[in-house]
Amino acid sequence: MIAAMFKMSFRMHVKDVTSPKLLFNILNKEINPILREDYITSFYLIIDKTNNTITYTNAGHPTPLLFKKKSSKIIELDTDGFFIGMFDNGDYAEKTTKIEDGDAILLYTDCILEAEDKEGKQFGKTRLKDLFLKAIKQSHGQDVITQIETQVRSFNVRDSFDDDFTALLLEL
């Protein structure tokens, strides 16, 4: 129910708001009075193909990873901002970053980071960054996601994940 309300509110405002930060402030003001103990994590970005930039804001979601093809570096896309609905004022920030042909962005849920091996060690962000860098240099599209999922599943001690496994790759 909460996800449906968030989606409706998002769709209603996104067409008129050109700032991710402003959009999250509006959504937070609408959702906050409804939620009691729940909250929403979210990451939102706008790709500007004319200026070759992305503008983004993060509301407590795992930080997406930007692969810069020219330098072969991974950059975490993060901003200040609390979960949507948790506080009256989410205090969201926004950043703009240059992009170039060949760059790629990996968005994912925390299930990937929190997968545990038999010693209880989590997969973690460092391992994910290393894996993403290796995979994006060798493959494209679904093959990158498949490599990540295969590695996380083999790392995970359980037969299934405790949470939803979601990953999205944007190739620019």
Higher pLDDT, 7 or 104: 104
* 128 class by beta-carbon count within 10 Å (0-12 exposed, 13-18 middle, 19+ buried): buried
Rounded Cα distance between 137 and 133, Å, is 6
Q: What is the pLDDT of residue 85?
A: 87
More confident residue, 125 or 32: 125
pLDDT score of 144 = 98
Nearby residues of 128 by Cβ (< 8 Å), 6 or more positions away? 65, 108, 112, 113, 148
- pTM, two decimal places: 0.91
* pLDDT at position 20: 96
Alpha-carbon distance 143 to 140, whole Å?
6
pLDDT of residue 161: 74
**Whose structure tokens read 């402003």?**
22
- pLDDT for position 35: 79
**Is pLDDT of 163 > 80?**
no
pLDDT digits 0-9 by tens, 101-130: 999 999 999 999 999 999 999 999 999 999
Q: What is the C-alpha separation between 125 and 65, in angstroms, rounded?
A: 10
**63-75: pLDDT as tens digits:** 999 999 999 999 9
Over its C-alpha atoms, the chain yields an Rg (Å, rounded) of 17
